[in-house]
Amino acid sequence: MQQILLDTGILGKLCHPRRKQNQPVTQWLHKILHEHDEDAIVLLPELADYELRRKLLHLISKGQSSPKSLDRLDGLGRLLDYLPLDTEVMRHAAELWAQCRRRGWPLSGEKSLDGDVILAAQAQLVGGMIATTNRKHLEILVPAKGWEEIVI
């Protein structure tokens, strides 16, 4: 069974499903959940939820986004399998971060939390692939594809 972790960019599109450019992503997720539910599990990583939630809360407070987007994120949290952060993930992420540094692949600043490495650690630990809008840093650590490339 394929495990697909959603990156923040994909979640952002799903939280704004009425935008014409986001409708194909929404249709893709619907197809996986309703036609291929025995072949794939779609996971909502806690880190991606956090990254998008903080941005949405900020935009809502400035009147630049609707609270409906946050409601949609909450709905996705109920619909999808939520993948929480835990000690094992964070320790594995620290190892990945150090390996990348040794190989000369600085994925972020020296003092950065580096969400990509944390997300990659989660994907490695569950044997999953990341659906993302930016594969650049992720694909050197874990299978990562654009949503449109993931066919079940």
CATH, residue 69: 3.40.50.1010
Counting the structural domains of the chain, the total is 1
Answer yes or no: is pLDDT of 119 > 70: yes
Residue 84, Cα to own-chain centre: how many angstroms? 12
CB atoms near residue 109 (< 10 Å): 8
pLDDT digits (tens, 9 = 90+) for 58-111: 999 999 999 999 999 999 999 999 999 999 999 999 999 899 888 887 666 655
Q: Structure tokens of 149? A: 């490339």
Using H for helix, E for strand and C for coil, what is the string for 86-152?
CHHHHHHHHHHHHHHHHCCCCCCCCCCCCHHHHHHHHHHHHCCEEEECCCCCHHHCCCEEEHHHCCC
Domain limits for position 60: 2-149
36 or 144, greater pLDDT? 144
pTM, whole model, 2 decimals? 0.92
Average pLDDT score, the chain: 92
